[in-house]
Amino acid sequence: MAASLEILSWFCFLVGGGLCITGGVGVLRFPDFFTRVHAASVTETLATPLLLIGLMLQLDNWLDLVKALYVLLFVLITGPTAAHALAKGALHHGSKPVLSGDPKLQTGDSESNNREDESSNS
């Protein structure tokens, strides 16, 4: 029983860690703000629960277990609200999402590359 819990916890940590890095790579690679929100939600909706469940399987104090559950529920409930607030703010001030068929999608992260060039020149 204890051994299977240990293996399950290992599995959660490994998959969670992998997804965590995936989300980070996505935030870096995706071409515009709105697509990056989707990449960020990978780290918040699956990587965080998996890592916290992996941790919960290791805890032996039930009070700590409940607290870890609080953290998990809190992150899951507030995640969409924060994402919505960010997206609404971006739209409100005139950022328009890059849509399918836009040439920016093919060249990758052109917008921020330009910005980087600018700042290295100045």
Q: Which of residues 44-73 bind another protein (CB under 8 A)?
A: 44-46, 48, 51-52, 54-55, 58-59, 63-64, 66-68, 70-71
Instruction: Please answer whether residues 52 and 71 qualify as being in contact, where contact means their C-beta atoms are separated by less than 8 angstroms.
Output: yes
Length in residues, the chain: 122
Residue keyed to tokens 């890592």: 51
Query: Does 7 sit near another protein (CB under 8 A)?
Result: no
Q: Which two tokens stand for residue 14?
A: 């490994």
Residues 72-101 that bind another protein (CB under 8 A): 74-76, 78-93, 95, 97-101
Instruction: Please answer whether residues 74 and 68 qualify as being in contact, where contact means their C-beta atoms are separated by less than 8 angstroms.
Output: no
Instruction: Please answer whether residues 75 and 82 qualify as being in contact, where contact means their C-beta atoms are separated by less than 8 angstroms.
Output: no
Q: Which two tokens stand for residue 67?
A: 């607290």
Residues 14-33 that bind another protein (CB under 8 A): 14, 16-33
Of 1 and 106, nearer to another protein (C-beta) is: 106
For another protein, the binding residue among 1, 3, 42, 103 (CB under 8 A) is 42
Of 1 and 63, nearer to another protein (C-beta) is: 63
Q: Which two tokens stand for residue 62?
A: 């039930």
| Closest alpha carbon to 21 in 3, 39, 1, 2 | 39
For another protein, the binding residue among 1, 8, 103, 112 (CB under 8 A) is 112
How many chain residues interact with another protein (CB under 8 A)? Answer: 83
